Structure 1
Amino acid sequence: MNELPDRVRRRLEEVFGDVLPSTTRDEQDDDPRPPGTGDEELLADRPPHHVERD
């Protein structure tokens, strides 16, 4: 992979900053969401036409 010249790299960093964090939220131990706000909440909030019928 070709390295960018320092001048170009510095300009890109100046314009865009740190676009991607070094770790994502799912990789971090401290989940900011309170318990019970995962898939259960999303599934409970489904529109009626998406509810499974027997």
Structure 2
Amino acid sequence: MSRPDAPEPEWVRRKRLAAVFGDVLPDTTNDERDPDEAASEVGSDAWLRAQVPPHHG
């Protein structure tokens, strides 16, 4: 049984926040990734531009 005034352990806080918000931050930063890998991501602007119908310019 824990005391109500006891500080919450960091791992418990992270687990609780992950359950509510999910994992929103990537494990690596842009400078740690291969530039070619970033260009091939499905969520990139190049992929979005390729999906525009011809009549939209």
- Alignment TM class, shorter chain as reference: 0.3 to 0.5
- TM-score w.r.t. length of structure 2: 0.34
- TM-score w.r.t. length of structure 1: 0.35
Per residue, is there more helix in 1 or in 2?
A: 2
